[in-house]
Chain A
Amino acid sequence: MAVLSWIRRHLLAFAALAVLTLLLVPNVVVAVFSFNDPVGKFNYNWARFSTDAWTHPCGSPGICESLGLSLRIGVTASLIATVLGTMVALALGRYQFRGRAATNLLIFVPMATPEVVMGSSLLTLFLMLGIPAGALAILIAHIMFCVSFVVVAVKARVATLDPRLEEAAADLGATPAQTFLRVTLPLAAPGIAAGALLAFSLSFDDYIITNFNASPSSITFPMFVWGAAQRGVPVQVNVIGTVVFLAALLFVIAGQVLSNRRQRAV
């Protein structure tokens, strides 16, 4: 009876833990199967332990080229989307202007549109304009769907800032440019960083929209994985998936530690 009542009291914790496990199990499976030496083409069943894929991460033809392309597009798209999105967020958070409702709508709608609709509509535009499918078309598309997410992340941060700090800077004789660079920008930095990180991961991970605008010479990493899924996924895909996961985890934890330390210092 004691055991039963103990379980009853911690039912919520058990449920939460079970769901968290469900979220993390696939990542663990990806990591475990990166050490597999599969029999045949498909890496679905465990055969025997091997570190081959870890010592030859580029061992599957085309995999590292596609990873390189995804990283280049991800970095470029997130940089441009972060600049565009931060500007929009500052305008929304710091100024009164006509057309605010229309602006908010234009920011919101792309986030609420299924990717397959965005991808196919861009394809019709590019067809009409004669823009060839390829890396440039992918880059344009990625910037488009990342901007809204950056706006949301930065706006949330800007909304918590005290406008009197900027007024104080101006009162102390700072020019608008100085106020922006030395007060507004540093204060908004955590939001901008979060927006940039989100944009990068969205771009790096996108398959559906990319597929509509890619050419055979512009295979991104998700497209490589998709293609491989039809004929047998090389173990190297699991290695790269695991490395990206661990790198991101490290990145997020470092960010947390940094912001905790800064809070304590204040």
Chain B
Amino acid sequence: MAEGAAVVGTGAPVRKPVRRGRWVPYALLAPGLLWLVVFFVVPMITLGSQSLQEGNIDEGYVFTGNVSIYADAVQRYWPHLLRSVGYAGTATVLALLLGYPLAYFMAQKAGRWKNILLILVIAPFFTSFLIRTLAWRNILSDDGPVVAFAQSIGFTSLLQAIGLTSNDTLLASKFAVICGLTYNFLPFMILPLYASLERLDPRLVEAAGDLYASPREAFRRVTWPLSLPGVVAGTLLTFIPAAGDFINSRLLGNTETVMIGQVIDSQFLRVLDYPLAAALSFILLTMIVVLVTFYVRKAGTEELV
């Protein structure tokens, strides 16, 4: 495709199909990639540099290359880091358990309702997620019907017993934060699952049945392995934003559910300790990259088996 590039624009009387020049793809790429380099890659470097500076907001910062800030940050905030990974991991598993049946139903069983269901899954996206998260405060409010019902069947006592809530209501608890995270990132789980389940040929499952596989066995050996690309994509798209999120922990949690994103936000914008906040940002990013790499490796090999 790239040969014969130089003739473009020379006015030579060639009648063979004009090939666009060798430079065309680079011209197409340049503005977009330049934007990403200047406003995504360069900021990562300034963030790294900021974490190794010392000083304060009034007198300015000087680069000292003092890496002990990282040890300091981990020592002070490891509970928040662990909590963020724990909440995000739990929400990801819950979203997978909830999202899989819906995605499977839409892809394989919904027939002509498929498009309508797809619209209904995407539609909530278009209301600001802050407003939707606040709506959970209405739904789970202390003297609302949901809490009354949960109390009557003993669900609140159960949650309290396993330490997910601290009294017999639902709001301002670990439980509410994890539910909020699950709810908010559920569409990110459903859409990739749907995309890979839609490509699944139902005849493969039928064939498994013909070969005397029980429905459970057919799911385990045929459907699930073939949907793995969707599972991997969906879990990543849920886990990564959930680990950095602080909207849910702020609106639905309490002082014991503070996640690392909230610490970074307040260190940057209220405490104005830029080096510490920058170091925490980097630690969060590194942690996610390490976990995701491990996960993709493992999921990747399972897919091959």
Chain B residues near A116 (CB, 8 Å)? 244-246, 261, 264-265, 281, 284
Interface status of A189 (Cβ within 8 A of chain B) = no
Interface status of A112 (Cβ within 8 A of chain B) = yes
Q: Are B247 and A208 in contact (CB under 8 A)?
A: yes
A26, A110, A112 interface centre (most CB from chain B within 10 Å): A26
Q: Are B29 and A248 in contact (CB under 8 A)?
A: no
Interface status of B75 (Cβ within 8 A of chain A) = no
Q: Are B29 and A88 in contact (CB under 8 A)?
A: yes
Interface status of A35 (Cβ within 8 A of chain B) = no
Q: Are B144 and A225 in contact (CB under 8 A)?
A: no
Q: Are B264 and A120 in contact (CB under 8 A)?
A: yes
- Distance in angstroms from B13 CB to nearest chain A CB is 14
* Interface residues as binary, A127-161 with B (CB distance below 8 Å gives 1, 0 otherwise): 11000000000001101100110010000000000
* Interface residues as binary, A59-103 with B (CB distance below 8 Å gives 1, 0 otherwise): 000000000000000000000000111011011001111000001
B2, B130, B244 interface centre (most CB from chain A within 10 Å): B130
Interface status of B271 (Cβ within 8 A of chain A) = no
Closest to A122 in B: B43
Chain B residues near A106 (CB, 8 Å)? 33, 36-37, 40-41
- Known A-B contacts A114-B285, A116-B265; A24 and B124 likewise in contact (beta carbons under 8 Å): yes
Q: Are A226 and B130 in contact (CB under 8 A)?
A: yes
Chain B residues near A252 (CB, 8 Å)? 119, 122-123
- Known A-B contacts A27-B123, A201-B125, A225-B128; A120 and B26 likewise in contact (beta carbons under 8 Å): no
Closest to B141 in A: A44
Q: Are B39 and A125 in contact (CB under 8 A)?
A: yes
Interface-forming stretch among B104-112, B148-156, B158-166, B224-232? Answer: B104-112
Closest to A256 in B: B115
Q: Are B261 and A114 in contact (CB under 8 A)?
A: yes
- Known A-B contacts A45-B143, A117-B285, A122-B39; A88 and B28 likewise in contact (beta carbons under 8 Å): yes
Q: Are B18 and A15 in contact (CB under 8 A)?
A: no
Interface status of B87 (Cβ within 8 A of chain A) = no
A-B contact sample (13 more), CB < 8 A, given A88-B32, A106-B37, A124-B274: A23-B186, A26-B127, A30-B127, A90-B28, A94-B25, A97-B25, A114-B241, A114-B288, A117-B47, A127-B50, A141-B39, A151-B32, A229-B251
A interface residues, Cβ below 8 angstroms from B: 12-13, 15-16, 19-20, 22-27, 29-30, 33, 43-45, 83-85, 87-88, 90-91, 94-97, 103, 106-107, 109-110, 112-118, 120-125, 127-128, 140-141, 143-144, 147-148, 151, 167, 170-171, 175-176, 201, 204-205, 207-208, 211-212, 221-222, 225-226, 229, 233, 237-238, 241-242, 244-245, 247-249, 252-253, 256
**Closest 8 A-B residue pairs measured CB to CB?**
A114-B244, A248-B126, A16-B105, A121-B43, A95-B25, A84-B32, A26-B135, A91-B28
